[in-house]
A = this chain, B = another copy of it.
Amino acid sequence: MAARKLRLHIENSRRKNPIFHTLPGHWQAACRRHKALARHIGAVSFGWDGDILESVLPQTELVIGVPARRDGLAQRAPNLRWLHSTSAGIDAALPLDWLPRGVVFTNNSGAHGHKAEQYMTMAYPLLNARLPAIIANQQARRWEALFSPSLAGKTAVVVGLGDLGGAAARAAKKNGLNVIGVRRSAQKHRHADRVVTYKQLDRVLPQADFVVLAVPLTSETRNLLDGRRLDLLKPAAFVINIARGPVLDQDALAQRLRRGRLAGALLDVVEPEPLPADAPLWTTPNLLITPHVSCDDGEHYIDISLDLWFENLGLMLAGKRMKRRINPGLGY
């Protein structure tokens, strides 16, 4: 006798970019890639911004996509076992006081590394080659031979060594950089020449030619790279943020870029997003802004995400510890 099938609800939001919408076609293709596991799933519903949420939650065990309304989930979804976020960063859902006891909450860490690596493979030589200044010259129709030294042998301090930080470290090694990783423990990392803890951050910042922010946004990491720490950097250093806007004091950064106190920066995340048209950040010299696109696969984001989800489904069904679980105490 087969075990009872699990009911799954997939919650989408029209406020998100279409590349993050999990559609029936994605689901069916993933089921074909994971046939044996897919047999354990029964009814699947697709909802948009809560439209059918209350009617399906009572009988649903699995939810993909964090609902906007999260209060009283224990009562609204008494059978819920596993809630999965299709983002890696779950800072928008913090604090996790709404998470019912016994419900596993996972994120989408692992879906971003390959694109993050490609972005970071570009980021180091782009800043080293003075592209922001060259771009400003192109806008001014000015031909000025801005040469640059070799990138090899320079030092990247990569703050955070999760999916994104690991990708930043791999990309740095590909570019011949020396990598100092910074994380909670000084545990070794295969793509870092050296790993230190956050307590030693101030001590390694003066060595950085590049600082890469790749930490989750939590109450501990908010404003991590503030004005004081920016002043520990060499004037020739570059700053890269692929984490979340508020882990960096972007006004302090902009001020230093305007004064020539830092050499340049590449920000894929800012505060707020979208950045309003009148934000002075847009025209800060030697600053390049990309619109929060560094780490998301524009073609296969959902396919990759569902593969990671099915991997976890297999672990759950086997009674094993699932991956990418959020630790409510750490907030990531």
- Check A150 against B288 for contact (C-beta < 8 Å): no
Question: Is A308 located at the chain interface by the 8 A CB criterion?
Answer: no
User: Which A112-165 residues sit within 8 Å CB-CB of chain B?
Assistant: 114-115, 118-119, 121-122, 125-126, 128-129, 131, 134-135, 137-139, 141-152
A173 CB, min distance to chain B CBs, angstroms? 11
Which of A196-204, A205-213, A290-298 is near enough to bind chain B? A290-298
- Check B289 against A115 for contact (C-beta < 8 Å): no
* CB nearest neighbor in B for A149: B299
Question: Is A329 located at the chain interface by the 8 A CB criterion?
Answer: no
Which of A3-11, A253-261, A273-281 is near enough to bind chain B? A273-281
Question: Is A175 located at the chain interface by the 8 A CB criterion?
Answer: yes
Inter-chain CA distance A144–B275, complex, in Å, is 10
A133 CB, min distance to chain B CBs, angstroms? 10
- Check B299 against A121 for contact (C-beta < 8 Å): no
User: Which A24-61 residues sit within 8 Å CB-CB of chain B?
Assistant: none
A158 CB, min distance to chain B CBs, angstroms? 18
Inter-chain CA distance A299–B121, complex, in Å, is 22
In the bound complex, residues from chain B placing their C-beta under 8 Å from that of A274 are 143
* CB nearest neighbor in B for A134: B290
- Check A121 against B174 for contact (C-beta < 8 Å): yes
In the bound complex, residues from chain B placing their C-beta under 8 Å from that of A297 are 147, 149-150
Inter-chain CA distance A141–B121, complex, in Å, is 26
Inter-chain CA distance A25–B80, complex, in Å, is 74
* CB nearest neighbor in B for A18: B147
- Which of B114, B145, B174, B273 has a CB less than 8 Å from the CB of A17? B145
In the bound complex, residues from chain B placing their C-beta under 8 Å from that of A122 are 121-122, 125-126, 129, 131
Chain A interface mostly? loop
A152 CB, min distance to chain B CBs, angstroms? 7
- Check B150 against A273 for contact (C-beta < 8 Å): no
Question: Is A300 located at the chain interface by the 8 A CB criterion?
Answer: yes
Question: Is A19 located at the chain interface by the 8 A CB criterion?
Answer: yes
* CB nearest neighbor in B for A292: B145
- Check B293 against A145 for contact (C-beta < 8 Å): yes
* CB nearest neighbor in B for A277: B141
Inter-chain CA distance A106–B259, complex, in Å, is 45
- Check B298 against A148 for contact (C-beta < 8 Å): yes
Question: Is A98 located at the chain interface by the 8 A CB criterion?
Answer: no
- Check A114 against B152 for contact (C-beta < 8 Å): yes
* CB nearest neighbor in B for A17: B145
- Check A118 against B282 for contact (C-beta < 8 Å): no
- Check B150 against A291 for contact (C-beta < 8 Å): no
- Check B141 against A291 for contact (C-beta < 8 Å): no
